Amino acid sequence: MSAAVETPPEIGSPAIPWHRRALHAFGPAVLAYLLLRLFCLAVLVVFAKMAGESVTHLLTDFDAKWYAGIATGGYDDAIPLGPDGAPKPTNLAFFPLFPALILVVDLLLPGGAAIAGVVVAWLAGLVAAAGLAAIGTHLRDRRTGIILAALWAVLPHALAQSMGYSETLFTALAAWSLWALLRRHWLTAALLCALAGLTRPTGGALAVAVGLAALLAVIGNRGRFTDGGWRPWLAGALSPLGLLAYIAWVGVRLGRPDGYFRVQDEAWGMAFDGGVFTLKTTKAVLTSQAPLMLYMNIAVLTLAVLLLALAITERLPWPLLVFSAVVLALALGGEGYFHSKARLLMPAFPLLLPVAFALAKARLPQLVAVLTALAALSAWFGTYLALIWEYSP
């Protein structure tokens, strides 16, 4: 008798250790993301040195200072008032999960809370890249997943991904929550959604997507608790808890139920006006001379609307569309801080899927050319944001 030929197990086989399966599935996407972000950072380092600026300072400025301050000193007891009695900006507008992680990393690594914030942001960016790869692979194939992660790395405002900002953490939680939702892992999706709600106010967009999916599943199951039918019920209840818990805590802190909304409106001037401020500012920018930053924001906002329409025609899974649409609506409908609106769209990564689908069909030289051009644009604009633009990216 001839000896049987032993064939190696497949990558998806339980015989392969989980870390090797994860490395095979997500390693290329995470590596592509990391190399692209390192390239953009290297360009910034070169120009910052020429300008006599500290890269460490550039990556730990603006919102990063607020997060580091929360990690070291906690939250304000009340909304501070100026000499004229008007409310001043307060750190109560910033959600607690990111500064909590800064505190943990600060205890483990030297350099202080500001550096810890950058470390948390970079690590979360790698997790986000893996989550984007997982969704791209689930929808099409691994090549699409890698391209999606690469596209997210070279957004015009991707400098914020390298700073001590919470966008990478929120995107990581949102991506993996949506992936779990697409796979009908209800409790995983809900728990990650709750954590996302402790990260940024746009956690509400994710809660809408997860909660609506859970509601439709309950309706489809006619409310029965058979065949695991209780999981959508629990997922629907858990998904908004993080967001609601922080809003309630701020209300208790300030002694009024609408405390968080007062922080947003009166202290930061960020009420929701349905887009009136955005339209007026866009008109003003386009009819007068304005900084480059504002023109880029208008371009990104316009492109986002077009990509949402294209994503609808691509028939993406509706939870991805709902999440992206709500994030876009919050960015367009918010009053104030027009220059930050494009950055606020960064977590709406499903809008990049139509581009990833198209690039996945391209030949390698074409793909490399497109990503190289986008990386050059991201590096240039990120350097502009860090060295020339005077406010938060």
* Structure confidence at residue 9 (pLDDT): 41
Q: For the chain, which residues make up each domain, given as ranges?
A: 21-387
Distances (CA, A) of 64 to 18, 102, 201, 338, 339: 35, 10, 17, 19, 17
What tens-digit pLDDT sequence spans the chain (393 residues)? 334 433 334 444 556 777 788 787 889 999 999 999 999 999 999 999 999 999 999 999 999 999 999 999 999 999 999 998 899 999 999 999 999 999 999 999 999 999 999 999 999 999 999 999 999 999 999 999 999 999 999 999 999 999 999 999 999 999 999 999 999 999 999 999 999 999 999 999 999 999 999 999 988 876 555 445 789 999 999 999 999 999 999 999 999 999 999 999 999 999 999 999 999 999 999 999 999 999 999 999 999 999 999 999 999 999 999 999 999 999 999 999 999 999 999 999 999 999 999 999 999 999 999 999 999 999 999 999 999 999 999
Instruction: Give Dmax (Cα) for the chain.
Output: 95
The CA angle 75-80-86, to the nearest 5 degrees, is 150
Q: At what angle do helices 186-197 and 203-220 cross, to 10 degrees?
A: 150
Return d(Cα 386, Cα 44) in angstroms, integer. Answer: 8
How many CB atoms are closer than 10 A to CB 367?
17
* Structure confidence at residue 5 (pLDDT): 38
Q: What does DSSP assign to residue 2?
A: P
Residue pair 359/147 in contact by the 8 Å Cβ criterion: yes
* Structure confidence at residue 24 (pLDDT): 79
* Structure confidence at residue 71 (pLDDT): 98
- Sign of CA pseudo-dihedral 259, 263, 264, 265: positive
* Structure confidence at residue 6 (pLDDT): 38
What φ, ψ does residue 5 adopt, rounded to 5°? -85, 125
What φ, ψ does residue 180 adopt, rounded to 5°? -60, -35
Return d(Cα 115, Cα 107) in angstroms, integer. Answer: 12
* Structure confidence at residue 236 (pLDDT): 94
Report which of 324, 311, 95 is spatially closest to residue 209, judged by C-alpha positions.
324
Whole-prediction pTM: 0.94
Return d(Cα 161, Cα 209) in angstroms, integer. Answer: 24
How many CB atoms are closer than 10 A to CB 212?
16
What φ, ψ does residue 384 adopt, rounded to 5°? -60, -45
- Those residues with Cβ within 8 angstroms of residue 331's Cβ, 6 or more apart along the chain or in another chain: 301, 304, 341, 344, 345
Q: Residue 330 corresponds to which amino acid?
A: L
Tokens describing residue 363: 């030949």
Return d(Cα 163, Cα 329) in angstroms, integer. Answer: 25
* Structure confidence at residue 225 (pLDDT): 52
Return d(Cα 119, Cα 166) in angstroms, integer. Answer: 11
Map 47-101 to HEC letters: HHHHHCCCHHHHHCCCHHHHHHHHHHHCCCCCCCECCCCCECCCHHHCCCHHHHH
